[in-house]
Every structure is written in structure tokens, then in C-alpha cells.
Amino acid sequence: MGTGRDTAVPGRVAVVGGGIAGIAAVKALLGAGVEVIGLERAGELGGLWRLSDDTAAYEGLRLNTSKPRTEFSDHPMPSEWPDYPSRGQLLSYVRGYAERFGVPSHYRLRTELVAARRTEDGWLLELDGPDGTYEESVAHLVVANGHNHTPRLPEPPYPGTFEGTSSHAHTYREPTGFAGRRVLVVGTGNSAMDIATELAGQADEVLISARRGVWVLPKRLLGRPTDQWNGALAAVLPWRLRQQVSQAMLRLADRGEEGPALPPSPEGVLQDHPTLSDTVPALVAAGKIGVRAGIEGFEGRRVRFSDGREDEVDHILWCTGYRATVPFLDPELVPDPARLPLYRHVFPLDEPALSFVGLMQSTGSALPVVEAQGRLLAAYLSGRLRRPPRDRMLPEVVAELHAARARWGARRPHMRIDVDRYLRQVARDLAGVRRSARTLAGRRVIVTGAAGTFGRALGARFTELGARVVGLDLVADETAPVPVVGCDLTDPESVAKGVEEAVRLLGGGVDVLVNNAGRGGPAPAELRPSEEVHTQMRLNLLGAWEVTAAVLPHLERARGRVVFIASRMALLPLPLAAAYGVSKRALAAYADTLRLEVGTHVGVTTVYPSMVRSPIHDSTREAGLSLDGVSRPEPLDGVVSAVVSAVTARHAPRDVATTRRGRTEMALARHAPALADRIVRRTVASRLAAGAFAKAPLAEGLRRRHGDAD
């Protein structure tokens, strides 16, 4: 896909669905500066990972993809979580992701899209919300409603009548209701294996009906999560060769249970849809789960299987999957979503005002796929990417469909995605696309010292990039570019009230805290600590500590970031300014300690600017101790850009220098401190020799020791 202008109709976009696909799409569109509304019929976000009557989630549900192969690229999962997180953990992760990027405020909950009718300018939506039905127009419609809502049962039904009870996995929640019953689980997918395992401890008898063979993989292979092996191989090998290597590894790691077993798949492991389970093969081998062939028919409570065997069961649990449906679209436009030809699994060939996110069946986790699809869609709808003409899209769609049929056969070839190949393809599509300037769209930011030189510049830049910003400063300032709450950062009670008000103004949460407030001034280390020393220590260190502690619960919920503005003087201290250098070095030490405590959930960064011309240096200059000639000034914009980069980086950097010279000075201070000391001493001596501090009473001791005292 190539870049170009006038690539999408400008206007508002509606995203249907509040699950993972919808959240990823809304987040990407917000980041690209696209006006977007999300529509979710439930009362909360989270999609199928919510425990609710309208979802397929059950208590024991766990991921079948490991953390590194599941997480979004800019929102890592906590390191202390298990390799395969639980349903509840993933739900909290997805909601934290949405909160962090300001997604929830753009959703209309308890709002169902009843029908979408194509108009000349886009779509007329018929919506049913908390206040009744109404209509609304949008320029583009994004279908991200998932495809695990409508249970699929065998068609045509098996011959005969079953007189027991039956249900679909969609309604399964926990196993205790099946105690004392004989249960037949139909299917061999991940849900069937999980449910059969749970039932084996409750039901009198558990049987699995396998219509065809299946690959059942261990969750760990040769010491690491199984899916990570295929991910590593995908970078260098085509799938057929990968399949041979994968199957050889599985033979080497064969668990070798003796006794009954599930039937093997006639297909290769990468041509099937493998199931991950560490328990079912052992339970089958031990006789605690019985394996049966495909169903042939019913008679009363008896089930006849295709190999001639019969069993009497009380309940049939259909783990037979779902049908993809889009009931709000005209069937003539989309007769069967599962057979819809889509370019990059996102764009219909003949409908430029309609897109899909999440309408696919991936060989890995859906999260990286919908993240990539959201970025692709956002690039198109923001005008940074041109939609290819139909005569270029069609051959690629046909070739991909042919390859899918060659690999997976007739089982939903239109929806099949090799996750690693797909992500590389989308990355190539986006390689030449100009990155959106609104990298902080929807983020909620608190900046301390917001009325000062740094604070004003940070507030203006964050706002320009789409963030919502509230400042804290000693006195509220109506002339600042963002709302400023009056707050004495050295007073715990004032900090608590100020943070509470800032959070209220931001809508109830915080994604980023920038501890920028600071005070400089003369303070020779040889003299007793004056009130100026106490003031600087209280504000520069303890003030940042107070604010951070107050904001931290919000940052943890949002998986947010905290940035401390230290100083190059924390690494290369200068004489006569001991309070500032000591407080900033202590601030960096506080940041390092905080990182060790909260770094699993909150990114912690320290930024080290050099001298920027601002009023913070006035008191030093008035005392005759100007830093001119000792510390080289740098542009304010560079410091602001360094902070923005730290906030928007995928992983929070530990320490950030703001200039190339700064990186050299930081390296010198850390790796050759004695040399750094000599350089500073020589610089100060030359300034003394030039008479720079001749009229500064606070420098009398320094001049005397250098032989320059009067």
C-alpha cells in the first residue's frame, strides 16, 4: 500500500464492538487523530473475556498463547504473571490498555447497532441505547464485533433423537453442575480440552468425541512455552520447513504416556489447528477421559459413533465453535462474513467506507493481529496511506486464499492468518508511512511546575499531541496553556487535595506523571545548610516523592509512566550549588528505587537536561555565581522532545540524556568518575582565574583555596 493524499473520506468513524478488536481499533484511530466513537451493547468493555451470559468465557479459561506472543507491542504484560495468563488477568490487562490510551471515554456502552444503511456520504446507523432508539450518521464503519457470539451446531443435525440434555460451550461456566452425570464433550479444540479437564473431577464419566485426529501440544516444549519456538522459527523458515522442524521437536519431547490416546491428526502440525493441553493426554491415558469417534446418530440416551461403538450419556456438551455474523449489515452486502474476501483481512474490495478488524482465525494470539489491523486502518483513515485499486487488491486476495486452501484445506480459508507472516506483511505496508503526530491522543497527564518555563512548554507540547493535561503549581495560573491547580508540593495535605482535583479534571485517571517542579539557587557545600538548602531539598526531592505517591495508584491501574526531570548536575555536580545537585542526585536514586518496586506495572524514567535558560537560574546569577561558561545551555525544545520520547517509547527507558553532549557526559560520570571530577575542577579553576566569582561572598572559601581571595 502506498502513501498519498485524499485517501479516505474525512469524517467520524464508528467502531462496532468493545472487545479486544474494537479497543485496538479505537486506540489506533485516536492515536492518528481520527474522530471515532465506539459502540458496545454490553455495559462494560472486555468482549468475550467478561464473565457474562452474553459471552463464551468460563471460570477456568486460560490463554493458549504465551505472554510475549500475546501482549500488545506498547503495553507489556506484568513479568510476574504466568506464561499463560488466566481469563481474569487478560481482562484486567485489556481494560488497563484501554484506560492507558483514553479509549473508554470514546465508547457508548449499552448501545447496540441495530442496522447500518449505506448512504452517499457513509452510513446511517440505527442505534438502540439507554435512552431509546435514534439515528446517527458516520463516514466510515469498522466492524470489530468478534465472531464468538453465535454458537454453531452440527448441520444437518445427526439422525435420531437424543433424550438427555445438551448445551453449547457458550453457556458453560463451571463444572459443579455436572456432578454425578455422564457427559459427552463433542470437539477437540482448546475449549473442549479445558472443559473436559474440569469435568473429569466432577462428572461420573467424561467422553470426548473426536470426529477427526488432532495435535495436542504441551504448553512447554524443551523448557520454554511451545508457541515461542514457532515464533522464533517463523523469522527464518517457510511454514513447510517450520512444520518439519516443529514435528521433529515434538517427537524428541514426546511425553510417551502409555494407554489410550486421542487419535493423531492426518495433517501436519501447522496445517491443523493444534490444541494446547498438559492434562488431557494424561487423563485419557489414565482412563479418566474416554475417547470416542465422531457421532453417527442418537437413540434415546444412547449415542452411536462412527466406529460402531455406543454409549449412554446424560448430557452432550457441544464444543463445535461459532458462526461469524454481522446482523446489522444487509445480507446482500455481506452474505457470509466467514467467506468475505478482504484485502489484508481488513478492506473489502468494493466498499471503501467499510472495514473489518478481528475477522480472522490466527495461528497465534489475536492481540498482535488486531493491533496491526488497527494501525493499518488508522493509516488509511487519517490519509497517510492510500487504499490500493481493486485490480491490485484482487490478485493478492486470490493468491492468499489459494495458499490458505493449500495449507488448511476447506476449513475457513478466507479467515486464516499465519500470524508471523501477516505481521511482517503489515509492517512492510506501514514502513513508508509517516507516523501520526498525535502520539499521545487520549492520554491523561499531570505536570508539576506547570506554570514555569519547562512546565509551560511540556503542557503545550502534550496538548498539541492530543493529551489531556492538568498542571500542579504553587499558584494557579490562568495564563498557562493547560489548567493549573494551585498546590504546595511540600505540604502533604495540599498535595493530596491537588492530585484529587487534577484527577477529577482528567476524568478519573492518570496515565502519565511528569515531575518537573524544581528550585535552584546558590548553596556552598562547605557551609551549614541554610533555609535555601532545606527549601530545595523539600521541593526537588520530597515534593516529587509526595506527588508520585499520591498519583501512583492511578498510574498502576493504567499501566502508566512517571518521568522525573533531574539534571546533569546529578551526575556532574558543580561547586557552590550543592543543594540542587544533591537533591537531583537523590531524586534519581528515588526513581531507581521506585522502579524496583513498581516497574512491573509502571514505567519509570529519569531525564537529565543540562542548563536551559530560565528564571530558575536568576537567584544564582544575582549571587554572582552564574553557570555561564561552566554549563553549556541547550534548547528547551530538545528537553521537551526527550520527555515526549520517554513517555511514548514502547518500554520506558531508564535514563535519558537530552543531547549528544549529555550522553557523553553521563557516560563519563558513570564510567570514569575521577576523570569527570578533574574536568569539572579544571573548568571551575579557569572560571576563578577569569574573575567570574570575584564579587560573590559565597565563593570566598573557594577563591581562598585557589589563591584568589582578596
Q: Which residues are annotated as catalytic?
A: 580
Rounded Cα gap, residues 580 and 52, in angstroms: 56
Q: Hunting for cell 504553587 — which residue is that?
A: 474
Q: Are 69 and 235 in contact (CB under 8 A)?
A: no
Classify 93 as helix, strand or coil: helix
Q: Are 306 and 296 in contact (CB under 8 A)?
A: yes
Q: Are 298 and 158 in contact (CB under 8 A)?
A: yes
Q: Are 506 and 470 in contact (CB under 8 A)?
A: yes
Cis peptide before 653 (omega within 30 of 0): no
Which H or E element spans position 315? strand 315-318
Which H or E element spans position 282? helix 280-285
Rounded Cα gap, residues 151 and 169, in angstroms: 8
Instruction: Specify which residues 603 forms β-bridges with.
Output: 561
* Polymer length in residues for the chain: 710
DSSP secondary structure code for residue 219 in this structure: S
DSSP secondary structure code for residue 265 in this structure: P
Q: Are 319 and 186 in contact (CB under 8 A)?
A: yes
Helix axes 636-648, 453-464, angle to 10 degrees: 50
DSSP secondary structure code for residue 430 in this structure: H
Residue 507 backbone zone (phi > 0: left; psi -120 to 50: alpha; other: beta): left
Amino acid at 225: P
Strands 416-417 and 36-40: unpaired
CB-based burial label for 191 (10 Å; 0-12, 13-18, 19+) = buried
Rounded Cα gap, residues 414 and 400, in angstroms: 8
The beta strands (E) that lie in 575-629 are given as 603-608
Q: Are 65 and 36 in contact (CB under 8 A)?
A: no
Q: Tell me how far apart the terminal alpha carbons of the chain are, to the nearest angstrom.
A: 75
Q: What count of Cα atoms within 13 Å lies in the side-chain half-sphere of residue 574?
A: 26
Residues contacting 254, CB < 8 A, separation 6+ = none
Sequence-ordered alpha helix ranges (H) in 3-123: 20-31, 67-70, 87-100
Instruction: Specify which residues 354 forms β-bridges with.
Output: 141
Count Cβ neighbours within 10 Å for each residue of 162-175 and write b for 16 or more, e otherwise.
Answer: bebeeebbbebeeb
Q: Are 239 and 418 in contact (CB under 8 A)?
A: yes
Rounded Cα gap, residues 353 and 390, in angstroms: 14
Count Cβ neighbours within 10 Å for each residue of 122-134 and write b for 16 or more, e otherwise.
Answer: bbebebeeeeeee
Rounded Cα gap, residues 387 and 247, in angstroms: 40
Angle at 49 between CA 43 and CA 52, to 5 degrees: 50
Q: What count of Cα atoms within 13 Å lies in the side-chain half-sphere of residue 175?
A: 22
Number of H helices, E strands in the chain: 20, 33
Q: Are 533 and 579 in contact (CB under 8 A)?
A: yes
Q: Are 655 and 608 in contact (CB under 8 A)?
A: yes
